[in-house]
Chains A and B, each alone.
Chain A
Amino acid sequence: DIQLTQSPSFLSASIGDRVTITCRASQDISTYLAWYQQKPGKAPKLLIYAASTLQSGVPSRFSGSGSGTEFTLTINSLQPEDFATYCCQQLYIYPLTFGGGTKVEIK
Chain B
Amino acid sequence: EVQLVESGGGLVKPGGSLRLSCAAAGFTFSRYTMTWVRQAPGKGLEWVSSITGGSGDLFYADSVRGRFTISRDNAENSLHLQMNSLRAEDTAVYYCAKYTWASTVKAGVDSWGQGTLVTVSS
B44:A87 contact, CB within 8 angstroms = yes
Smallest Cβ-Cβ distance to B115: which chain A residue: A43
Does the CB pair A98–B110 fall under 8 Å? Answer: no
Of the stretches A14-22, A65-73, A74-82, A89-97, the one at the interface is A89-97
> Which DSSP category, helix, strand, loop or mixed, fits chain B's interface?
strand
Residues of B within 8 A of A34 (CB): 107-109
Number of B interface residues, CB 8 Å? 24
A50 at the interface (CB under 8 A from B): yes
**In contact, A46 and B109 (Cβ under 8 angstroms):** yes
Chain A contacts of B59 at CB under 8 A?
94-96
Chain A: interface residue count, which band?
20 to 34
User: Given A1-B62, A43-B114, A46-B100 in contact, is the A98-B107 Cβ separation under 8 Å?
Assistant: no
> Given A34-B107, A91-B108 in contact, is the A43-B47 Cβ separation under 8 Å?
no
When each residue 79-119 of chain B gets 1 if its CB lies under 8 Å from chain A and 0 otherwise, what string results? 00000000000000001010010000111111011110000
* Binary contact readout A31-66 vs B (1 if CB under 8 angstroms, 0 otherwise): 010101010000111100110010100000000000
Q: Across the interface, name the chain B residue whose C-beta is closest to A35.
A: B108
Smallest distance from the beta carbon of B10 to chain A beta carbons, Å?
A: 19
Q: Say whether, besides A1-B62, A46-B110, A99 and B44 are in contact (CB < 8 Å).
A: yes
